[in-house]
Each structure stands twice: as structure tokens, then as C-alpha cells.
Structure 1
Amino acid sequence: MLPYDFLKFWSETMFAPRALLQRKYEAFKILLEYDSQALDLIADLEELFYGRKLVDRNQADCLRKQLSSAVSGMIRELQKMHPYKFRDLTEAFNRIDEYGQRAMLLPEPDYGPPYTVPLATAGECPDLAGGKAANLGRVHALGYTEALPGFVVTANAFQAFVKHNDLRSKINERLCRMEAGNVRLLSSLTLELQELFLNGEVPDHVASEIRRGLSVYLDGNGRLAVRSSALAEDSEISFAGQYASELDIHPEDVLEAYKRVLAGKYCPRAVSYRISHGLTDDDTAMAVLIVPMIDARSSGVVYSMDPDCLSRDSVGIYGVSGLGASLVDGSVIPVKGSLYRGKKPRLVSECSFDRSVLPDEEILVRLAECALKLEEQFGCPQDMEWAVDHKGQFHILQTRPLQQEPEGRKAEKGPLAAMPVLDGLERAAGGAGCGEIYFAGSGEEIARIPEGAIVVTPALKPSLLSFSAKMNGVLSLTGSRASHFSSVAREMGIPVLVGDVADRFEKGQIVTVDGAAGAVYEGCVKDVLTRSCSEAQISPRVLELYEGMIPALVHLNLVDPQGENFSPAGCESFHDLVRYCHEMAVQEMFSLVDKRGLGMGRAKKLQTDLPLVVYLLDLDMGIDPRMTKKKVIGPESVVCAPMQAFWKGLSDERVVWPEEMTHVDWDEFDRMSAGIFSKDSKLLASYGLLAEDYLHLLIRFGYHFSEVDSLCGDMPGQNYVKFRFKGGGAGFDNRVLRLDFISRVLVHYGFETEIRGDMLDGFSSRLDRSETSRQLTVLGYLMAVTRMMDMRMENEAQLETEFKGFISAMEGING
């Protein structure tokens, strides 16, 4: 604290108390605005941290910066209210802010060489080559001649592209606004990002490495496939169908194709998928795989463990003529062959297939053998993509862990009492779901999929991926387990069935989809749903991503204002600082006026029929401006909303006031020279500080006093009522009975209360204007009817009678 600040505060306290009151009030109002901002930001962060809202991690950092600014503002205004008392808050803020910044820090990305690596060694450097290329690199290292040649443009090259084109701040600015599932916003923001990449320039040192790779690792003339290989792709998180591949590319066009694959990192469904799995933008930096283009006679995928045929563990081979794009995009029903698992796989004769599409039996056996060996080498069942060229040679295009339903979904279940309305459908993804039928045939209809729908669609299109979180199940005319959508659905527990579902259902019809049995039931069948274990789960990575941020930002440690840790030193988070600053600010306002009436020199006397001496000081629009030059005003000239509400209860016509006695502080009056001072003296009177939506009132009733401090405006988050009641002329036990009565009434109307000795404190906050006004009216009436209650209160039974009578009377006032 600067000496000047302290001297100014001290001089105002001594010589300009009214100016100090005005300044405190102005600082208090600003502090409450920051308080509302801070609490909203804390709530927003909690939505992220606990997985209730899925957004890019950059949004958390943007919110942290805003929260830091709001908390800093609260501290600044609180120090204006009392510079010396709160000087330690700055140090506490700096400590917590630094901790919060450290929790948000991510490793600096590497944008240095190498910018290319040969595919044959990509398995040794997955952080450079990405998941798809690293897996193929391991296939190379295992000696499979079927693996394609080629090279990888590394994730470092992606970071070099971002740095060269000065894109990082532009990317982050858009990422901090992205939310999984908000397709319209995602589409807009990702389109902007894709344009940035497409308009960017490949750095010369990266471009030269790509050209060198074409001549060193490929023949330099043949057509190319330029494929995504993002970090984390084709791992336990598949990213199936999320990214783009560029096929049949001429070597001269490879740089433009490379940029298109980089831009594909920011397609809406890929960003939404990444966010939903708790991955950052750098976690999925885009490496790019460049391999020769295969002129495929047939192609498809192999599942090294596929229970679809006769419910046996078998190897499933799915295939189509030509390229496999129509297979993985779910637009066709592929031909499928099944082979028994074993050292020498053999065809399952019960599962027939079209031999004109799939390769001959010898190649099918070799494909199955290869998939089983890769399963053994990788340590888990594999989803292997293959192609057979016109020379009859097969090629391994990629391999990744096979996405399977959790064990609970695969367990054998007992028979169901319900009869299906449709069964025998192909099981593309397990689980179970109930919901209303919704037909999604066009892109426009897909974009309108309602929450919890059972979607009926002509094909398992990749465009469905963006809306998968809304679906409770999918019924499709075409597609298979081998489609990208089915792979993602299995991760998410969404049941997907394929078959003749046309003209079988009506829009809005409620059905249950059983992905385990390949059946659809009328209505919601509880036995199917409870046995499926298909509830969508938040990815543990989402929670892990933010767990280090919770202690410094949103965790609340200061729960008890009377606790020993309720101090700047006890603050361990921004939430603690918000709590501390708000409590201290209210306390500062609550102690604005003491018995000396400090700062009330220009107050106006309130002319009232009640036997009270009250002086009011207008801080800001609390009194009708036409009364500026008046020294005495009536209640009708008070425009302060909380004072109006309080006065409504205090002046209720049913209250009987003794005409012969003016209610001043008789204890103080007796102490001060036995009546030398007039009863109208400001030293003995009640005081009120008023603004349009603020009231600070000290009322003296005989030998007790009460204080009311309240903000009552249009911002519920800022509203509060703080109340204190102390003293009395009767014995201690009688005074305590009165306090018990007051406490019961206040608790009934939503206050928290605490009694210490013969003093009661009550507090209520964050109610709307109407409810806050109602509480103030209760307080006003309570003050009126309890002013002499300690003299007549003798036992608990009397307290109960008084309580019931008060509640009944209040209903009349509120009515």
C-alpha cells in the first residue's frame, strides 16, 4: 500500500467522512459487478472441468484470464474501501494467479527438423509420424512385404507450417470458442481455419524435404495417396473417418494435397471428436503419410476378432470391388467372409459370401493370417485395411486397434419377455437405446437430429458423426460394422443396426434398439436398457485434462467466515478470493455508520408518524432529486427500492406504536449526561444511507439496535440482505427468547442466522429483486413487532404462538 493511499484514507476518515462513504459505496458497486462476473466464470469453468460441457482446452485458458481480471478488479475495489486492512490480498492474488498460469501451460511444440521420416522407421517415432504411419512402420519392422513403401511428413512439419504462416494466435482465438456438438458454430469456425491452411504457404525447408522424399522413398512418377496420420490417430482412440485423405495425386500436386490434409484436421466432426476425448490441438498435430496409389481390384478391412458370424469368435473380412471408400463411408453393404481363428484360418462354410467380389480363398486365408499375427504383435485385436491389385497381390494399407464393445455388452443375456417388431438385423455396434424415431435422409435432416433420437437413415454416412452425441440408436438401410461411423458408435455405446428398416416405423414412434441382439422393440423395454451398460460416459481424458486446474481456479476452501483460514493467507484459489472479497466488502458496508453518525452531516430528517428519529443520506438517486434542497422529507420522497420495501413492513398499519415515547437509543441517552442532549440529536437517532438499489440502515429502538444492509436490484447475483440485532432492556433470558423468535422467522423466509450472546446475525443473498424485496418487508415488520417483545417473552410456548401469529400476519402483508 502506498503511503499516499493510507494518508488519503486517514484524512477522509477524520475530515471528510461523507466523501469516504460515497467512495466506499462506489467501490462497493463496482466490486459487486466483478463478483457477478467472477462467479459466472467459475460456473463456466466448472462446466468444463467436470465434463458437463465439452470444449477445446483453449476456452479454459480464455476463461481463466477473464477470471483473473475479474478477481483482480474485486481486490482493487476492496482496497479502495479500506487500503490498509486488505493490503495482503495483492500477494495472495499473485501467488494464485501464477499457480493458475502454470496449470494451464502446455509443452512448447517442436517445429524443428526432421520434417520427413521413411515409413519403414516410422514405428520408432510415433510422436513424429502419428498413429497411422507409426502402425504401418511397425508392420514394416516385422518384415511384412505386403506393407506399402513411402514416407511421412512429420508433426514437426505441421508445427513449422503453423509458425511460418503465423497461424497459432488465429487458431487459438477460434479454438477458444469451439464446443463439441455445436455444429453450426463448429462449421463456421473450422471453415475459417481450413481457409487459413489452404491459403498458407508450405515452408521452403519442408517443401524441399517432401520433394526429396518422393525421389528417395518412391519412384517419383507414380500416382500418390496422401493420407492423414495425426498424433493419437489409430490408437485406442480410432479417429475413424474423421480426417481426409487425398487419393490419385500427381507428384506435382503433392504440396497442395498436403495442405488439404492439414486443413482436414479442422473439419467439424474431427474437432468435435477430439474435444470429446479430452485431447488438445497439439495432441493431434497432423503428420501426413505419402504412399503409392494402389489400383485396387478389391479392397476392404479385416477384423481379427469378429463375433458377427454365428456368434462365434472369427476373423471377419469385409470387401467391395475397387477402392474401399464406399465401404468405410457406409454407403454400401459389403460382402463378408468369415474364417475360424487359429494358426491356419479356414472359411466358415455356414457364412456364405460372393466370391466375385472378395479375393480367392488363398488370399482370404493370407489376410486372416496376417491380421492374426498383427493382433499378436500389437497385443490387441486389429482392424486392418487391405487392397488387392489387378496382379493379385494384396497390400496392407493401415492397421489399428479394433474398436469393440465393453465386455459387459458382450455377455450372454437371458431371454426377454418382449417380442421384437423387427429382428435379424446386422449388428454394426452394440449397446441399447430407447427414443423416438427420427428420419434423417438428407443433410438438412441430419443437422436437425433431436436429442435422444433413434435415427433411421439410408446409409451410415460420415456426416452423422458430427451429431452422434445426440443419438440413442441408429437404424440404417446400408452400411456395416466396417464403416467409420460404426467404429465411432462402438466407442460411444450407440447401438447401430443395418438391414431392411425402410417403411417399418413412423416418425415419433418410441422404440428400443438392441444392438446385441440385432432387434428393435416397441416402446422402452427396461430389461434391454438395464442390461446393456450403454450409458454414455465422459472420457476420463476430459477430466484428466483439467484436474490440475481445479485447485487454483474453482475449488472453494473458505467456507466459514468465522474459520481461522478466512484470511488472504488462507486463500488457495480464485474462488476463495472471490468469497473473501465479497464477504469483506459486505462487512465494510455493514459498518459504514457507527453511533457517532460519522459522515451524516448533510443528512435529511425523515418526517414520519412513527415515533422514530431517522436521518437519511442520499448516496446516489436514493431520494427524489426534487428534494435536494429540503432538510426534512417524507417517506414518499424515498425512491430507494430496498428502503421502500423495508418501510412497507415497518410502517404497516396493524403495528401499534406508543405515542408518548420516541424510540431513540435510551442506553446512550442515559449515559450522556441525563438528558442534556435533545432526543432529536443525531447522536441518538437512526441513520440510513440510500441509493437507488442500496440501503444501509441503523435503527435504534430503546435499549437495542438493529442494522440492515442490502442491495436490491435487477441483478440477482448481486442482491443480498445482511441484518444484525443486538441488546434489549429485559433480562438476558428474555432477550435470548426474542432472538430465538427472530431467528425462526428469518430462517422461515430463507435467511441463514447465527446467535452469539444477545446478538443475532442474518444473511441472505442471490435472490431476484422480488424475493429480496419480500425479505426486506419481512424485516421491517419484524423490527416493528419485536421492539418490546423481550419485555413480555417468558417461555418457549409463547414463542411458538408468536411465531404462528407473525407468519399469518405476513401473509396478509404480502397479499
Structure 2
Amino acid sequence: MLRLFEHIKNRLKGRRRERRSLSAVFGQFQHVLELNNRVLTTIASMHNKLGGSYIFDLQYLRSSRQYMVNTVRELIDAFDALAPGRYPELYVSFRSIRDKLDGELERRPVLPDIMAIPFEEIGAKDMDAVGAKSTRLGIIAETGTAQVPHGFAVTTAAYRLFMERNEILDVIKDSEEAWNSGELSAAEASGRIRSHILAGTIPSRLRKALNRELDALRRKLGDGEIRLAVRSSAWGEDGNLSFAGQYDSFLHVTPEDLHDAYRKVLASTYSPSAMEYRREYDFKPDEVFMAVSVQQMVEARTSGVAYSLSPVDPGRNSTDIAGTWGLGAPVVSGEVEVDRFVVSRDAGHAILSNSVADKALAMQGKPGGSVTMEPVPEDLRKVPCLSPEEVRLLADTAVRLERYFRKPQDIEFAFDSEGSLTVLQTRPLRIGRKEDGETPDLSQSLKRYPVLLSGEGEVAQQGVGSGPVFVAWEGRDLETFPDGAVLVAHLSSPQYAAILHRASGVITDIGSPLGHMATIAREYRVPTLLNASRATMVLEEGDVVTVDAEQKTVYRGEVRELRLHDYMRERMEETYEYRLLRRMLKLIEPLNLFDPEASNFTPQGCRTLHDIARFIHEKSVDILANIPNASASGEACPGGRLVLPVPLDLVVLDIGGGLAPECTGGLDGLKLRRTIQPDQVKSGTLHAFIDGVTLEGVWQSTPVPVDFSSFMSSMTRTFSAEAAGAKNIGQNLAVISEHYLHLSLKLGYHFTMIDCYESEDGTRNSIQFRFAGGVTGVTRRSRRARFLSEVLKTFDFSVTVKEDLVVARAKGWMARDLKRLMRILGILVAYTRQLDVSMVNDARIYEHCEEFERIVNEAVLN
């Protein structure tokens, strides 16, 4: 690794000394943007294949991997040409991700090297490590959607370690080959494999991890005996495939018997039925990994199963519940009579019907461990095992879990003696189509619902979602977002990432399927429609709507027929190729780098190919902000001093197509040779800025009184050339081309930098605005910064403020009308020139906001 660093550094050392023209730097920047856009487009295309409507093979996955790897490598090389030798660690991160992708395609899955994880530390990212069953319990625990048992997951890496240390992998391979060739029956092959697993020893590293988690569990639960439920959580189990009943679980296990129970669960991976099931669904040997869920046993008074949507009659819009006294295993296996409840899914959850059984036997835990069937006391046999309040609570929990996981759920539950509900596990529930032809015509059903939006926007994630509208206006507290609501916002901002997992749908006025929020929406599979233009004007807070993202349609009300149709759609999601694509995308699509100021925003922090593209894009914009310093001295460029009716004293440097042809030879480096008239400026964005900064009545040219304390504060402040953004403090500079504008301005005691890039199709437009400084003390400068922040947010910028420093960005569709935004920024520069002096109290912030809005409305919007 060190030799690689040295090789890269030595190879690039000579390049650092090369002098590059401004136009060459800008050309490299354009190439980086083009490659970045290609990466994002490919990621979106690959993810769309997971919608269930596409058929593809291994060749598609191999070619997609090759294209992605080649494009990202080309992107890194292009970025390295823009910033020679500055980030050699990017190559290291890239090689690591590429090797993991190759491992997936070569059937060498990369597993996190950890033996056990507590439930409260498990998130969606840990699916490969702990399986779907434990992942869902971890997510429920993290989000507080319902109560789950305390416990931990023993990982797939632990399974692999156990198999390797006990030399069982070759036994599995030989036995399965003999079974597939007909030399052994499934039962014979299973028996041979399971006997080796049951005789295996627990590796020291795994034993220490189990003991550590058991000790932590004891500390959480306090004094008293601990009993455990040891359950399977294999790859593929409780996912798109259920593996229902294929693997073993063990209840009421003592901590001393945990090792034996663990081996038994591992052995059940190779039960005859599980082997047959995997073969039927083309589950490859490299996909067989068993994680194990170790849970605190709930001392259950009542247990059972709840279906969030009736699989028998889904059109009835009901939740079905079955329960009995004691532990719930006999309910799942069908060994006992159960009480049944049919409950409305609507608010209030009215009980539509119930049937109370004669419950003669119940499963109970034995004092020394294990379980037994015992007679139910006579006075309880014909009494409902759930009260009406418990039935309604369970129905409400089931519907909330369905909304969260975006599919109907099959839930195992328990109520303890205090009436506290615990979700033991939840998995997707299959809803099949009726075979009797009674399914209503969807097109006729949809005619009953008013259409609020149709044919507008771009699909970031397909699907159907219903819920009340939550309008995320600027500054609104997102903590108030209710579970299952439809998020409606003006911008597709990554700030909504924290609530997307709770949303049933997303609609924005502005946004791109290639943006960061779209990526997160795809990760959570939230139906998402972006760039819908009028969403915030048409959709009203609190109104229930249904979003059909695939058809780009929003209906008033909850369209149950449409959601049911979506649940019953036949998707090709159970093939090996789909499962492999999902694993590949975990190395390609997730975005871990959000905040450029965060400590992980480094080459080493890049864990996916998307992270690499994000890092490069952000750093490229930063580099372009310093383009005037890019070894330009001595370069002959068109330009000169711009003649304006305000004392801006702006020098213009043209690096290609920004000035009229007659302006050639105006500058040698920054040595002035001529003046430039406004009508000679061909750059549309600079022209818009000039229109704004010279707006009549906005530029403050009269002296402004400064109190003594503010004057003394300004005298003690210093400014670096880096803060000013130009080599010579006091030099106001514009670097322009046909599609690019950089402004570096020193006006009085503050500095402003603006970078603007205009793409041909508008999807890659970007503006970055930086502001710092002032003549007064920190309080008034901070007030001006807050004023700038309020104004910029109004016009679709994302803003970061630190004391008197303001950094604002608008990208993609948020910046599609660049000329309008640049004119507003011109007005803002003129308006704020000496504004800090007047910021005598907080009220002045909002007075100036109102005044500025009035000026802009008159000058720009009308």
C-alpha cells in the first residue's frame, strides 16, 4: 500500500510544476462534470432494474460493473489532472471497492469482519452481516416503531469462521455435488453435513464475542435468570423469499446452552427441506450464510401472528390476527386452536369480527430451559386471549410496520403479563392475485378519484404510496413529520434523508433523479416524483393523497385499489441475478458523504463508487473557485476593466467566449490594456449579475456612520488572500467563459466569491456563493450573515452559516434559471455592501429581508 502511494506521488510530482492555462483548467473541470454525470446516470439505471419489471442476466451485471469501474477510474484520472497529486488516496479507496465488486461477481462475497452486533446498533446497512430478520428488529429498535426484545445478532462472518475452522466447507461441497448428481438423497447429504456442524467447536474469537454480548445483555436486564430465543436469520430468509419453516429456532435457552443452540441453528441451514427450497429458487452455494438472532425471551402471556393486510381477502382492507395463551410457536406450526380477530385498518381499528377458540393447551417455558405443552386453566380456555384494546394496538402496530417496510407484513408478537406488546419478528407477506376473476378493473376504479397532478415530474423511485401531505416549508421542524405521510417540498434536498424512511411518498417542485436525495429515496424504496413543478402549490397540508410514481400521477384520497394492485404485482425479484445486483449496488449506490465539512469527507471515507463521485464533484467546484490563481500569470487573455455606473472597479478576464471578439488582447496576465463596455460582455450570467449590481437605487454610495467600537473591531481584523479569493486584496476580478463565471470581490471590509457554471441541458447547472467579513463587531456581522442566509434560502439555495461566513449552493434543477439567480445575487451584493453597520438588533434582520424581497419582486420577478 505504501509503495502504491509512493508510485502515485512520484508519477505525479512532475505534473505539479506544469503551468496550465485558465482555459485548460476549465476544460478539465468540464470533463470531470461530464464523467460525474455519466456515473450518476448509470447508478440510476442499474437501480431501476430492481423494480421487478426487467429481466437481465449475469452478462448485464458483468458489463455494468465494467462500465462503472472504467468510468469512475476515468473520473479519478480526470480529477487528478485538475488537482495533480493532491488526493492519491482516492485510488486506494477505488481499488478496494473494485476488488469487493469483483468478489461478488466471482462468488466471493465480502462480509463485515465482526462476530456479533447488539440489536440497537444494527441498521439497514448491516443486512449482509446479520440477515433480514435481525436487521428488521434492529431497525424497529432504532426507530422506535415498536418494542422489540433485547438481544444481539451473531453474524454471517461468524458462520464462515465456524465453517472454515471446522473444515466443513469441503464436506458441504462434496455432499451437495453428490446430491445434485443423484448419488445421495437430500436426507443423506443433509445428515452428513449436519453431523459435522453439530460436532464442530466454537472458535475462540467467536466464543469471546458471545460471552461479551451475554454479559452486556445481563447488564441491561438486571438481576434474575435469563432465557434466550435463538433464531435463524439467514441470507434470503424473510426477504423476497420467506424460507418459512425451513430453519430451526430454539426457545427458553439458558445462557449455558447458547453454544449448542447456535450449532443447531447452523445445522438447520442444511436440513433436507432447506436444501430443496434453495435449489428450487436457484440459491447459489456462495449465497448460503446463516446469521443467528439471540433474543431475550419474552415471558409471554399471549402470543401469535398478525397479518397487516388480509392475505385471504386483501380487498376487505383488514388486519388478521391469530393468538393463543403462552408462547407463539404452536400458532405458527398450527398445533393449537387459536382466537381470531379481523380488524379494520382505518384509524380507530374497529374489530370487524372475532372467533374465540377452546384453547386446551399452551406452550410454556420450563424452569431449567426448553419448553413444554401444558394444559390451559379451565377458566381461561374459552376466554379471549387479547382484550379489545390489545387487538387495536396490535392492528395499529401492524399497519405502521407495513408503512415503514413498504409491504404487507407477517408479524410474530407477544404480550407479557403487564399487557406490554413486543414484536418478535416481522417479514414481508405475500399477497397473491385472485384466481376467480373477481379482481376489479383498476382503470374503472381510478376514475372515482380526483387527479391532482398528472404527467408532471421525473420518477426517482417507482411505487405507490398514500398518506397525509406534509409540506416541508423552509425552516419547518422535521421532527414533526408523521409516520406514513407524503413529503411535499420545493427542493429535493438531502436534509430530508433523516425522515425518508418514515415517508410513504415524496413529491418536489424541483429536483433530479440523479441528485443525492433521489439516491436515498431509492435506498429506502420510497415512491418518489421529483421536478413536479406545482406540487407545493397544488397539494395542501394534511390532505390525504396517493402517489403513483410510475405513472407520474397524484390522486386525492387513499386509492386502496392502486396500492393493492402494487402489492400483487408479479416482480422478477427472486432470481440469483436480482439478488446479486442488490449486493453489487451496496458497493455502488449508497451515499455516505453528505457534509463537505464533516470529518469523514475524505478519500478514505469513500465506501462506494457514489461516494467517490460525490467527493470529486465537491472538490472540483472548490478548485474552480480558485481558477484565477491557476498559474495564469503571463497568459495573454482578452479582458480589461469593466466600465460600470457604480464604483465596483471590476477587472474581467475571458478564458473563452465570454467577451465580444473585438476584446482580444486586453490583458497580459492581469496587466490592463483596455476597458470593457457592458455591451461587450457576452457571458449571460455576468450580464445578469451586472444588471443586478447596477440596479438603480440599490448601491449604497453615501458614507455610513460607524460607532467607535465597530471601528476598533474592524481595525483589529485581518484577511488572508485565500479569504478574498484573489492574489491581490482589493482586486475585484471576474473570470468568464461562455458557460462559466467566477467573481472575486472585495467591497469595503468584506469579501464575496461567486462561482457559476451553466450546462447545456440545465441538469448540471451550479452556483456557489461565499461571503465573509465586515466593518463592525462579530454580532452585527453575524446578523448580516443571518440576513443573507434567510434571503438565499428563499431563492432555492442550500446555506451554511458560521458566524459571519456564509456558504450557499444551488445545483442541478435548483439552479436551472441561472440568469435570474445571478441577477438576484447582483442585487444582493449591492444591497449588503455596508449592511452590517445598520444591524443594531435582530429585528433589523427581518426588516431587511422584507425590503429585499420587495426590491427583487419589482426588479426580477415581475
The TM-score, its normalising length taken from structure 1, stands at 0.46
Q: TM-score, normalised by structure 2?
A: 0.43
